[in-house]
Amino acid sequence: MQSFKINTLNYTPKQFLGEKKYYVYTHELKGSIIYVGKGSRRRAFEFSRRSKLWSEVVGINVSSVKVSIVKWFDYEEDAYKYEGTLTKHFKSLGQCQANLSIGKKHSEKTKRLLSEKGRGKHNTMSGKEFSPEHKHKLSKSKTGEKNHIYGKTGAKHSSSKRAVALLPDGYKIEAPSRNELANIIMKEYGISASMINQMILTGKPFQARYKKHEKARGLIVKYV
């Protein structure tokens, strides 16, 4: 069995601005490691979007969960590998009850099966073909001035503008494009890309209608 000497580093969400993007973290409860995960940015500190098993293990003790960053990585693949190794280690000690499995990355076999599932007869468009006339109409409907990005290039193209998200507590998320920022916000707060686009157009702060979005209340998204 591999021996571990783990020096955990405690961070607050606002400190995740270093050069390394990925990390492996642990959740500790009542002196026991209940979960090992791979994350980036504020993932380690998010408790609202967890598995059913994690919620069952933690119960009403969410406020008592201790978060520790174990190790940082430049590459996601390395973080996944370490996550699996560390999970296996704690599983052997009878801990990590909230981990469904060792690591989260699909195996090559699983990825191949998922890919094959979307091909051939399993694909909803399999065997269906548009007529030349229909194809021409579809193409014509999106050309020239009818295209929403007609005449827009470079910095004028909305998808290439830098965008920023601002929270009432001063936390800021900035990305090279609207699409990249939308992906980050969707992962961290569960807000859809269409809602983010609407927020950019209106300039209005995000109004949380559901409990799962409460931590994003007052969020403002705009171009910079």
pLDDT averaged over every residue in the chain: 75
CATH T-level assignment (fold) for domain 157-223: Arc Repressor Mutant, subunit A (1.10.10)
Distance separating alpha carbons of residues 205 and 219, to the nearest angstrom = 5
157-223 and 13-92 share a CATH fold: no
- Write out pLDDT tens, residues 93-147: 888 888 875 544 445 555 555 566 556 655 555 566 667 777 676 766 656 655 5
Running DSSP on this structure, what letter comes out for residue 157? S
Portion of the chain with pLDDT greater than 90, in percent = 5
Look up the pTM and report it.
0.43
Alpha helices (H) along 118-202? 132-140, 178-189, 193-202
Kindly compute the dihedral angle of the four CA atoms of residues 67, 7, 81, 13, in this order, to the nearest 10 degrees.
30
| Contact between 205 and 220 (Cβ < 8 Å) | yes
Distance separating alpha carbons of residues 185 and 196, to the nearest angstrom = 8
- Helices 193-202 and 178-189, packing angle to 10 deg: 120
- With bands split at pLDDT 50, 70 and 90, how would you rate the model's confidence at 160? low
Which residue type sits at 26?
Answer: T
Report helix, strand or coil for 36. strand
The CB-side HSE value for 191 (13 A sphere, CA atoms) comes to: 28
Pair of tokens at residue 76: 């996601």
Tell me what pLDDT residue 171 has: 83
- When mean pLDDT is compared across 119-123, 153-157, 210-214, the lowest value belongs to 153-157
**Over 70: is that where the pLDDT of 163 sits?**
yes
- Write out pLDDT tens, residues 51-65: 888 888 888 888 888
Distance separating alpha carbons of residues 26 and 96, to the nearest angstrom = 9
Give the domain ranges of the chain: 13-92, 157-223
More confident residue, 201 or 145: 201
Distance separating alpha carbons of residues 56 and 33, to the nearest angstrom = 15
- With bands split at pLDDT 50, 70 and 90, how would you rate the model's confidence at 216? confident
More confident residue, 76 or 19: 76
- With bands split at pLDDT 50, 70 and 90, how would you rate the model's confidence at 35? very high
Q: 13-92, superfamily in CATH?
A: GIY-YIG endonuclease (3.40.1440.10)
| Contact between 65 and 58 (Cβ < 8 Å) | yes
Pair of tokens at residue 64: 């008592």
Tell me what pLDDT residue 116 has: 62
